Chain A
Amino acid sequence: MDKGFLLSLYTIFSGWALILLALLLVKPVISPGSGELVEAVMYVLLGALSITLALLLWYESIRVAFLRVKASGPGGT
């Protein structure tokens, strides 16, 4: 198992954790049984903000690890 495959495994598991984390973050905003517009707007804003931030952090972690693995590999063309 090489570093490239391990890195791709990391992207899968961290992507999964990201989805669960985003759902945990929006959980307090959704109260069962209510469907009010204000609540829905709050849900969208908080959900979008948390998901965007988490996505950016996640992508950056993959990019940094990817560049490091690529640089340590066996040369270019």
Chain B
Amino acid sequence: MLEVALASAVAMLTSELMHRVMLPRYVRRGLLSEDVHKPGKPKVPEPLGPAVYLPFLMASLIHFLLTKDGSSIAVASSSGLAFLIGLLDDLSPLGPRIKPLLLILPALVLIATYQITPRPLLPILGRARLHYVYWIVLLALFTVFSNAVNMMDSLNGMMPLSVYMSTIPLMPVLAKNEGALASLLLLHSSLLPYFLRNRYPAKVFGGDSNSLFVGSALASISAISNTEAFFCIALIPFLVSGFSVITSVGGLRERRQITSRPVVLREGMIRANPDPMAPISLIAVIASDKWKREDEIVREAALLSLISGILSSLTFFLLTPR
């Protein structure tokens, strides 16, 4: 555990340092995006994905050198490809159909770098043997998790806080898989300096390079520990959001292709769009009854994530034969 603590400290410090170095440079170079949910639409540096992924990679290498456990390297490699796809999308937007397809590739990297066993642990069923089906499910898992985390990254601090809340209760579930637990802790550590700056009112945005990396890292961690189903339960708020938006707009669409927005704004307050044809998102569901402040919605989404995480952990310990 000392090795994980050391690697986590490196991840956190490196990420903090990179934020401090990169932020003034982003401002000087005009790498800024509008915070559309605030009055006056202030401009915020984006994308800060490299300041989260590179410390994670460095910490994973240190963890590997100290423990010789290759799982952290496998997670860093596969999520690294998702990070690069996200960076490409930040620089020049990829199409709404190309991006989900590209996000299958990190799964192939994981299969190439880690000996994945097609025996996921499932609630009610116990250890399943899915020799044929598993690989298709694994490809889908990567693109679903990455896109779901990406869609959750729409309000200040919502994505990192919800990731913390849904995955911290999963730690006891990963207790028997040290590699997966170490990767999750390294992810938490490298995300912390970003979260402190991204929370309301945001001073940085991560961009797709950050959210796709985080989603892919979660998919990798679930796959190496065979706890895919428990990550699915813990990430229900993310999956609900992604699924509802895709279903209500009738398929995969780029943000600017969706004419009617899920929510409307008024003086910094947010509410579900009264138009019955407007897409359904988690934010719209939370704000369906009344006008809410952005930070209020983020807190409620985090509470939902915590409930899902606890529900997942309880499912593992009470409803899963082993």
Contacts and interface: CB of A to CB of B under 8 A. Distances in A.
Interface stretch (B39-47, B128-136, B219-227): B128-136
A69 interface: yes
A64 to B, nearest CB: 11
Nearest to B303: A5
A8 B272 contact: no
Contact of B289 (A3, A12, A13, A76): A3
A19 B315 CA distance: 11
B243 A23 contact: no
Given A20-B124, A44-B133, A70-B274, 7 more contacts: A2-B290, A4-B292, A8-B285, A12-B311, A33-B129, A69-B288, A77-B274
A5 B285 CA distance: 7
B154 to A, nearest CB: 15
Interface stretch (B24-32, B193-201, B232-240): B232-240
A73 B280 contact: no
Contact of B288 (A3, A26, A37, A40): A3
B158 interface: no
A69 B272 CA distance: 10
Contacts of A76: 264, 274
Interface in A1-48: 2-5, 7-9, 11-13, 15-16, 19-20, 23-24, 26-27, 30, 32-33, 35, 37, 40-41, 43-44, 47
Interface residues of B, number: 45
24 contacts: A4-B288, A4-B292, A5-B286, A8-B285, A9-B304, A9-B307, A11-B285, A12-B307, A15-B236, A15-B239, A20-B124, A23-B122, A23-B123, A35-B129, A55-B243, A59-B247, A62-B244, A67-B276, A70-B288, A70-B289, A71-B274, A73-B271, A73-B288, A74-B290
A62 B124 contact: no
Could you say which interface size class chain A belongs to?
Answer: 35 or more
Contacts of B271: 73
A43 B136 CA distance: 13
Residue of B132, B266, B274, B289 contacting most chain A CB atoms (<10 Å): B289
B288 A19 contact: no
B300 interface: yes
A42 to B, nearest CB: 11
